[in-house]
Chains A and B, each alone.
Chain A
Amino acid sequence: MIKRIIVVAILSLAIFACTESDDVSSGNGINDTFDRTAMLSNISDNIIIPAYQKLDLDLNTLKASKNAFIANANQANLQTLRVDWFNAYKTYQTVQMFQIGKAKEILFEQQMNIYPTNTTDIENNITSGTYDLSHVNNNDAVGFPALDYMLYGLAGDDSAIVNLYTGTNYKTYLSDLIDQMQMLNNSVLTDWTSNYRDDFVLNTANVASGAVNQLLNAYVFYYEKRLRAEKVGIPAGVFSSTPLPEKVEALYRQDNSKILTTEALNAMQNFFNGKAYNSNTQGKCLNSYLIALNRSDLVNVINERFDAARQKVEVLNASYKSQIETDNIKMTEAYDAMQMVVVSLKSDMLSVLNVSVSYVDADGD
Chain B
Amino acid sequence: MNKRLKTYLNKTSNAAPLAVFRIGFGLMMFYGIVRYWAKGWIEMIYTQPKFHFKYYGFEWVQTLGNYTYILFIICGIASLLIAFGFKYRLAIIAFFLSFTYIELMDKTTYLNHYYFISILSFLMIFLPANKYFSVDAYRSNIQYQSIPKWTIDSIKLLLGIVYVYAGLAKINSDWLLRAQPLKTWLPSKYDLPFIGESLMHQNWFHYAMSWSGMFYDLFIPFLLLYQKTRAVAFIFVVVFHIFTRVLFPIGMFPYVMIISTLIFFEANVHLKIISFIKKLLPSSSAKAIKTKEAFHFKNKKIILPIVGVFLVLQLVIPFRYLLYPGELFWTEEGYRFSWRVMLMEKMGNTTFKIVDGKTNAFFYVNNSDFLTPLQEKQMSFQPDFIVEYAHYLGNHFKNQGHKNIEVYAKSFVALNGRLSEPFVDEAVNLFAEKESFKPKSWILPFTDDIKGL
Per-position 1/0 for A135-150, Cβ under 8 A of B: 0000000000000000
Contacting pair A360 B372 (CB below 8 A): yes
Per-position 1/0 for B355-386, Cβ under 8 A of A: 00000010111100000111001001100000
Task: Count chain B CB atoms within 10 A of each CB in A31, A346, A365 and give the residue with the most.
Answer: A365
Contacting pair B197 A33 (CB below 8 A): yes
- A347-B414 in contact given A241-B361, A339-B351 (Cβ < 8 Å): yes
A363 to B272: give the CA distance in the assembly, Å. Answer: 34
User: In angstroms, how far is the closest chain A Cβ from the Cβ of B416?
Assistant: 9
Contacting pair A33 B190 (CB below 8 A): yes
For chain A, give the interface size range.
35 or more
Contacting pair B189 A363 (CB below 8 A): no
A168 contacts which chain B residues (CB < 8 A)? none
A298 to B414: give the CA distance in the assembly, Å. Answer: 11
Per-position 1/0 for A315-354, Cβ under 8 A of B: 0000000000000000000000001001110111011111
CB closest residue in chain A, given B422: A343
Cross-interface CB contact of B45 among A5, A9, A32, A360, cutoff 8 Å: A360
At the interface, yes or no: B441 with Cβ under 8 Å from chain A? no
Contacting pair A18 B193 (CB below 8 A): yes
Contacting pair A347 B413 (CB below 8 A): yes
- A229-B366 in contact given A33-B201, A241-B361, A360-B372 (Cβ < 8 Å): yes
User: In angstroms, how far is the closest chain A Cβ from the Cβ of B277?
Assistant: 13
A229 contacts which chain B residues (CB < 8 A)? 366
Contacting pair A301 B419 (CB below 8 A): yes
At the interface, yes or no: A160 with Cβ under 8 Å from chain B? no
A362 to B192: give the CA distance in the assembly, Å. Answer: 20
Interface residues of B in 241-261 (CB under 8 A from A): 242, 245-246, 248-253, 258
Contacting pair B196 A26 (CB below 8 A): yes
Contacting pair A354 B188 (CB below 8 A): yes
A360 to B342: give the CA distance in the assembly, Å. Answer: 18
At the interface, yes or no: B112 with Cβ under 8 Å from chain A? yes
CB closest residue in chain B, given A13: B242
Task: Say which one of B59-67, B211-219, B230-238, B310-318 lies at the interface with A.
Answer: B230-238
CB closest residue in chain B, given A238: B364
Task: Count chain A CB atoms within 10 A of each CB in B239, B258, B381, B420 and give the residue with the most.
Answer: B420
Per-position 1/0 for A1-36, Cβ under 8 A of B: 110110011011001101100001111011111101
B249 contacts which chain A residues (CB < 8 A)? 361-364
At the interface, yes or no: A205 with Cβ under 8 Å from chain B? yes
Contacting pair B238 A8 (CB below 8 A): yes
B251 contacts which chain A residues (CB < 8 A)? 363
A2 contacts which chain B residues (CB < 8 A)? 269, 272
Contacting pair A1 B197 (CB below 8 A): no
B346 contacts which chain A residues (CB < 8 A)? 351
A30 contacts which chain B residues (CB < 8 A)? 197-198
- A362-B109 in contact given A2-B272, A347-B380, A347-B420 (Cβ < 8 Å): yes
A25 to B249: give the CA distance in the assembly, Å. Answer: 17
Interface residues of A in 48-64 (CB under 8 A from B): none
User: In angstroms, how far is the closest chain B Cβ from the Cβ of A181?
Assistant: 29
Task: Count chain B CB atoms within 10 A of each CB in A4, A344, A346 and give the residue with the most.
Answer: A346
Contacting pair A355 B188 (CB below 8 A): yes
Cross-interface CB contact of A31 among B189, B192, B193, B197, cutoff 8 Å: B197
- A365-B420 in contact given A2-B269, A27-B193, A347-B348 (Cβ < 8 Å): no
Cross-interface CB contact of A205 among B191, B341, B348, B417, cutoff 8 Å: B191
Q: Give A contacts to B, CB under 8 Å.
A: 1-2, 4-5, 8-9, 11-12, 15-16, 18-19, 24-27, 29-34, 36, 204-207, 210, 229, 233, 237-241, 293, 295, 297-298, 301, 339, 342-344, 346-348, 350-355, 358-365
Q: Give B contacts to A, CB under 8 Å.
A: 39, 41, 44-45, 109, 111-113, 184-185, 187-194, 196-198, 200-201, 231, 234-235, 238-239, 242, 245-246, 248-253, 258, 265, 268-269, 272, 341-342, 345-349, 351, 361, 363-366, 372-374, 377, 380-381, 410, 412-414, 417, 419-420
Q: Can you report 15 A-B residue pairs in the complex whose CB atoms are below 8 A from each other?
A: A9-B238, A12-B238, A18-B193, A26-B196, A27-B193, A29-B196, A32-B198, A33-B187, A206-B189, A293-B187, A297-B419, A348-B347, A351-B345, A354-B184, A360-B41
